[in-house]
Structure 1
């Protein structure tokens, strides 16, 4: 099964995450299928960048987003409706 989840990058005390589509059995920071965005919790305000079309495609094909990724997708959908 495919999962949409965060892949940790950055250094100690300075995390930066890629939002990726990955085989659910793979390690957190292992090989991924496709990168669909990024998330930087160290920035205030809008701290994510997400390709909503790719995320929708993966979810339509059965991918399960993690809790954090699903909240980012929800924020991105809301921002897209407002724009």
Structure 2
């Protein structure tokens, strides 16, 4: 069972809104997921990205791989660096 931390599209046409979820890699993009970790709203200026760092850390410790987009968002907001520092300490 390969688990990915990825975006799940929501919202309406031309107004996307995404949930950050932990889901099996074989599940469809907007299908079944294991847990909601946060959300991402790219329409707001500046974009809004909120996740629970404890939940993200829990899934990363379990071996979940973030997608490229989620990894970039985590790095951009400093959450990934924060989690890596806690691991090293």
Q: By the TM > 0.5 criterion, same fold?
A: yes
Q: Which runs of 5+ in 1 are unaligned?
A: none
What displacement does 1:46 show?
A: 4.7
2-structure distance, mates of 1:36, 1:76: 16
1-structure distance, mates of 2:30, 2:56: 19
Normalised TM-score (structure 2)? 0.82
Residue pairs, 1:36-47, within 5 angstroms: 36-47=37-48
Task: Tell me the secondary structure at the aligned position of residue 20 of structure 1.
Answer: strand
Query: Where does residue 49 of structure 2 map in the other structure?
Result: 48
* Structure 1 stretches of 4+ moved >2 Å: none
2-structure distance, mates of 1:45, 1:76: 16
Normalised TM-score (structure 1)? 0.88
